[in-house]
Amino acid sequence: MNSLHIFGDSFSETITSLYNNSGITERQQYSKEYLNSDTFPIWSETLSELIGYEHKNYSGQCGKNFEHLGQGNSNHSILYNLSEYCHTFKKDDIVIIGFTNPSRFPWPIDKPYPYPNYNVFNSLPTMSHDNLSKLDSEIINYITVKRQHDFYKEELIQNMKSFEVLSEVVGFKLYYWSWFSGINNYKKEEKISDKRWIFNQIDDKLGWNYNKLIETNGGNTITNETNGKIQDNHMGKSGNDTHAILMYNYLKNII
Protein backbone atom coordinates (compact mmCIF):
# COMPACT_ATOMS: atom_id res chain seq x y z
CA MET A 1 0.00 0.00 0.00
CA ASN A 2 1.22 3.49 -0.84
CA SER A 3 1.26 6.24 1.77
CA LEU A 4 -0.05 9.80 2.00
CA HIS A 5 2.55 11.84 3.94
CA ILE A 6 1.29 15.10 5.43
CA PHE A 7 3.45 17.98 6.66
CA GLY A 8 2.22 21.32 7.91
CA ASP A 9 1.06 23.39 10.86
CA SER A 10 -2.13 23.21 12.95
CA PHE A 11 -4.26 23.35 9.78
CA SER A 12 -2.99 19.84 9.02
CA GLU A 13 -2.60 18.23 12.45
CA THR A 14 -5.20 15.72 13.64
CA ILE A 15 -7.70 16.54 16.38
CA THR A 16 -6.58 13.42 18.23
CA SER A 17 -3.04 14.83 18.56
CA LEU A 18 -4.40 17.81 20.53
CA TYR A 19 -5.11 15.52 23.46
CA ASN A 20 -1.36 15.20 24.04
CA ASN A 21 -1.53 18.54 25.86
CA SER A 22 -3.32 19.61 29.02
CA GLY A 23 -6.34 21.86 28.64
CA ILE A 24 -8.73 21.99 25.72
CA THR A 25 -8.44 23.87 22.45
CA GLU A 26 -11.28 25.54 20.57
CA ARG A 27 -11.14 22.71 18.01
CA GLN A 28 -11.72 20.14 20.75
CA GLN A 29 -14.49 22.26 22.26
CA TYR A 30 -16.16 22.54 18.85
CA SER A 31 -15.96 18.79 18.32
CA LYS A 32 -17.45 18.01 21.72
CA GLU A 33 -20.20 20.63 21.69
CA TYR A 34 -21.22 20.66 18.03
CA LEU A 35 -20.34 17.17 16.78
CA ASN A 36 -20.89 15.24 20.04
CA SER A 37 -17.53 13.58 19.63
CA ASP A 38 -14.02 13.92 21.03
CA THR A 39 -12.67 14.19 17.51
CA PHE A 40 -13.55 14.51 13.85
CA PRO A 41 -11.59 13.61 10.70
CA ILE A 42 -9.42 16.38 9.31
CA TRP A 43 -9.00 16.74 5.55
CA SER A 44 -5.95 14.48 5.22
CA GLU A 45 -7.60 11.59 7.08
CA THR A 46 -10.60 11.77 4.75
CA LEU A 47 -8.38 12.14 1.69
CA SER A 48 -6.32 9.06 2.61
CA GLU A 49 -9.50 6.98 2.83
CA LEU A 50 -10.79 8.29 -0.50
CA ILE A 51 -7.57 7.44 -2.36
CA GLY A 52 -6.89 4.25 -0.41
CA TYR A 53 -3.50 5.31 0.91
CA GLU A 54 -2.06 4.84 4.39
CA HIS A 55 -2.27 8.09 6.34
CA LYS A 56 0.99 9.37 7.84
CA ASN A 57 0.82 12.80 9.45
CA TYR A 58 3.82 14.79 10.72
CA SER A 59 2.12 18.17 11.07
CA GLY A 60 2.16 20.35 14.18
CA GLN A 61 1.73 18.13 17.21
CA CYS A 62 1.70 15.03 14.99
CA GLY A 63 5.32 15.76 14.12
CA LYS A 64 8.42 14.76 16.00
CA ASN A 65 9.36 16.60 19.18
CA PHE A 66 13.09 17.08 18.56
CA GLU A 67 15.35 17.23 21.59
CA HIS A 68 16.97 20.55 20.65
CA LEU A 69 14.61 21.82 17.95
CA GLY A 70 11.28 21.39 19.70
CA GLN A 71 7.93 20.84 18.05
CA GLY A 72 5.76 23.52 16.54
CA ASN A 73 3.84 25.18 13.76
CA SER A 74 6.57 27.05 11.89
CA ASN A 75 7.99 26.38 8.43
CA HIS A 76 11.20 25.51 10.28
CA SER A 77 9.40 22.63 12.01
CA ILE A 78 7.92 21.50 8.70
CA LEU A 79 11.41 21.34 7.19
CA TYR A 80 12.81 19.54 10.25
CA ASN A 81 10.16 16.84 9.87
CA LEU A 82 10.64 16.60 6.12
CA SER A 83 14.34 16.03 6.66
CA GLU A 84 13.61 13.46 9.35
CA TYR A 85 11.15 11.34 7.38
CA CYS A 86 12.03 11.86 3.68
CA HIS A 87 13.91 8.55 3.64
CA THR A 88 10.53 6.79 4.13
CA PHE A 89 8.98 8.17 0.90
CA LYS A 90 8.43 5.45 -1.69
CA LYS A 91 7.64 5.44 -5.41
CA ASP A 92 4.05 6.61 -6.07
CA ASP A 93 3.59 7.87 -2.50
CA ILE A 94 2.01 11.31 -2.17
CA VAL A 95 3.59 14.03 -0.03
CA ILE A 96 1.50 17.13 0.70
CA ILE A 97 3.02 20.12 2.48
CA GLY A 98 0.93 22.95 3.91
CA PHE A 99 3.18 25.96 4.44
CA THR A 100 2.45 28.42 7.23
CA ASN A 101 2.95 32.10 8.02
CA PRO A 102 6.72 32.83 7.83
CA SER A 103 6.34 35.10 10.88
CA ARG A 104 6.24 31.92 12.94
CA PHE A 105 9.65 30.70 14.01
CA PRO A 106 11.40 28.76 16.81
CA TRP A 107 13.54 30.56 19.38
CA PRO A 108 15.82 28.70 21.83
CA ILE A 109 15.34 29.61 25.47
CA ASP A 110 17.96 29.19 28.20
CA LYS A 111 15.54 28.41 31.01
CA PRO A 112 12.79 25.92 30.05
CA TYR A 113 10.61 26.84 33.05
CA PRO A 114 7.63 27.35 32.84
CA TYR A 115 7.68 25.21 29.70
CA PRO A 116 8.48 21.78 31.17
CA ASN A 117 10.32 19.48 28.79
CA TYR A 118 10.69 22.26 26.21
CA ASN A 119 13.76 24.35 25.45
CA VAL A 120 12.31 26.08 22.39
CA PHE A 121 9.78 28.91 22.28
CA ASN A 122 7.72 28.56 19.10
CA SER A 123 6.87 32.15 18.35
CA LEU A 124 3.54 32.96 16.71
CA PRO A 125 2.60 36.59 15.91
CA THR A 126 -0.03 36.81 18.67
CA MET A 127 1.72 34.82 21.41
CA SER A 128 2.35 36.26 24.86
CA HIS A 129 5.98 36.78 25.88
CA ASP A 130 5.19 37.10 29.59
CA ASN A 131 7.60 34.34 30.58
CA LEU A 132 10.48 35.42 28.36
CA SER A 133 13.26 37.83 29.21
CA LYS A 134 12.83 41.42 28.07
CA LEU A 135 15.71 41.03 25.62
CA ASP A 136 14.28 37.82 24.11
CA SER A 137 10.88 39.45 23.78
CA GLU A 138 12.28 42.52 22.02
CA ILE A 139 14.30 40.39 19.60
CA ILE A 140 11.33 38.14 18.83
CA ASN A 141 9.06 41.12 18.17
CA TYR A 142 11.58 42.59 15.74
CA ILE A 143 12.15 39.30 13.94
CA THR A 144 8.39 38.66 13.69
CA VAL A 145 7.86 41.88 11.75
CA LYS A 146 10.94 41.37 9.61
CA ARG A 147 9.93 37.85 8.57
CA GLN A 148 7.17 39.17 6.31
CA HIS A 149 9.94 40.24 3.94
CA ASP A 150 10.06 38.41 0.59
CA PHE A 151 13.50 37.16 1.60
CA TYR A 152 11.89 34.49 3.81
CA LYS A 153 9.40 33.40 1.14
CA GLU A 154 12.21 32.98 -1.35
CA GLU A 155 14.25 31.14 1.26
CA LEU A 156 11.40 28.68 1.75
CA ILE A 157 11.13 27.99 -1.98
CA GLN A 158 14.88 27.49 -2.17
CA ASN A 159 14.82 25.06 0.76
CA MET A 160 12.30 22.90 -1.07
CA LYS A 161 14.43 22.34 -4.17
CA SER A 162 16.33 19.36 -2.77
CA PHE A 163 13.02 17.64 -1.91
CA GLU A 164 11.74 18.38 -5.41
CA VAL A 165 14.79 16.63 -6.87
CA LEU A 166 14.28 13.75 -4.44
CA SER A 167 10.67 13.36 -5.60
CA GLU A 168 11.86 13.02 -9.20
CA VAL A 169 14.56 10.51 -8.27
CA VAL A 170 12.40 8.34 -6.00
CA GLY A 171 9.15 8.81 -7.90
CA PHE A 172 6.83 10.12 -5.20
CA LYS A 173 4.38 12.95 -5.93
CA LEU A 174 4.99 16.24 -4.13
CA TYR A 175 2.34 18.93 -3.60
CA TYR A 176 2.13 22.27 -1.79
CA TRP A 177 -0.63 24.46 -0.42
CA SER A 178 -1.00 27.19 2.20
CA TRP A 179 -3.80 28.86 4.13
CA PHE A 180 -1.64 32.01 4.32
CA SER A 181 -2.26 34.46 1.48
CA GLY A 182 1.15 36.08 2.00
CA ILE A 183 2.76 32.83 0.84
CA ASN A 184 0.24 32.20 -1.93
CA ASN A 185 0.50 35.72 -3.35
CA TYR A 186 4.27 35.55 -3.67
CA LYS A 187 5.09 34.78 -7.32
CA LYS A 188 1.44 33.84 -7.83
CA GLU A 189 1.76 33.44 -11.59
CA GLU A 190 4.58 30.95 -11.13
CA LYS A 191 2.45 28.97 -8.69
CA ILE A 192 -0.39 28.80 -11.22
CA SER A 193 1.94 27.12 -13.69
CA ASP A 194 3.64 24.90 -11.07
CA LYS A 195 1.70 21.63 -10.70
CA ARG A 196 3.04 21.18 -7.18
CA TRP A 197 0.83 24.07 -5.95
CA ILE A 198 -2.31 21.99 -5.94
CA PHE A 199 -5.01 24.58 -5.19
CA ASN A 200 -3.72 26.84 -7.95
CA GLN A 201 -4.26 23.93 -10.33
CA ILE A 202 -7.75 23.30 -8.97
CA ASP A 203 -8.81 26.95 -9.35
CA ASP A 204 -6.48 29.45 -11.01
CA LYS A 205 -8.72 32.34 -9.89
CA LEU A 206 -9.25 31.46 -6.20
CA GLY A 207 -6.38 29.05 -5.60
CA TRP A 208 -4.33 31.72 -3.83
CA ASN A 209 -7.17 32.53 -1.38
CA TYR A 210 -7.61 29.40 0.73
CA ASN A 211 -10.54 30.56 2.88
CA LYS A 212 -12.47 31.90 -0.10
CA LEU A 213 -11.82 28.74 -2.12
CA ILE A 214 -13.12 26.51 0.67
CA GLU A 215 -16.12 28.74 1.42
CA THR A 216 -17.09 28.95 -2.27
CA ASN A 217 -17.21 25.16 -2.36
CA GLY A 218 -19.36 24.81 0.77
CA GLY A 219 -16.85 24.66 3.63
CA ASN A 220 -16.66 26.86 6.71
CA THR A 221 -14.39 27.77 9.59
CA ILE A 222 -15.27 26.82 13.15
CA THR A 223 -16.16 30.46 13.78
CA ASN A 224 -18.71 30.42 10.95
CA GLU A 225 -20.06 26.96 11.74
CA THR A 226 -20.78 28.01 15.34
CA ASN A 227 -22.07 31.48 14.39
CA GLY A 228 -19.19 33.04 16.29
CA LYS A 229 -19.81 31.21 19.56
CA ILE A 230 -16.40 29.54 19.24
CA GLN A 231 -13.78 31.83 17.74
CA ASP A 232 -11.39 29.69 15.71
CA ASN A 233 -10.23 30.24 12.13
CA HIS A 234 -9.37 26.58 11.62
CA MET A 235 -11.76 24.79 9.32
CA GLY A 236 -14.70 22.98 10.91
CA LYS A 237 -15.87 19.59 9.69
CA SER A 238 -17.47 21.05 6.58
CA GLY A 239 -14.28 22.94 5.72
CA ASN A 240 -12.11 19.87 6.21
CA ASP A 241 -14.49 17.76 4.13
CA THR A 242 -14.44 20.34 1.33
CA HIS A 243 -10.64 20.53 1.44
CA ALA A 244 -10.45 16.73 1.13
CA ILE A 245 -12.94 16.52 -1.76
CA LEU A 246 -11.19 19.28 -3.74
CA MET A 247 -7.86 17.50 -3.45
CA TYR A 248 -9.38 14.10 -4.15
CA ASN A 249 -11.10 15.27 -7.34
CA TYR A 250 -7.76 16.55 -8.57
CA LEU A 251 -5.58 13.65 -7.46
CA LYS A 252 -7.87 10.78 -8.52
CA ASN A 253 -7.04 11.46 -12.16
CA ILE A 254 -3.29 11.44 -11.43
CA ILE A 255 -2.89 8.45 -9.15
pLDDT at 113: 45
CA dist., res. 37 & res. 236, Å (int): 13
CA dist., res. 179 & res. 31, Å (int): 21
* pLDDT mean over 114-139: 75
pTM of this structure: 0.94
For 194-210, how does the pLDDT look when each residue is reduced to its tens digit (9 = 90+)?
Answer: 999 999 999 999 999 99
Instruction: Indicate the Cα dihedral angle 156, 162, 167, 173, nearest 10°.
Output: 0
> What burial letters (b/e) apply to 81-109, b meaning 16+ CB within 10 Å?
bbeebbeebeeebbbbbbbbbbbbbbbeb
pLDDT at 118: 62
For 140-171, how does the pLDDT look when each residue is reduced to its tens digit (9 = 90+)?
Answer: 888 888 999 999 999 999 999 999 999 999 99
Q: Where are the domains of the chain?
A: 3-102+148-211
176 DSSP β-pair partners: 97, 197
4 DSSP β-pair partners: 55, 94
pLDDT score of 122 more than 90: no
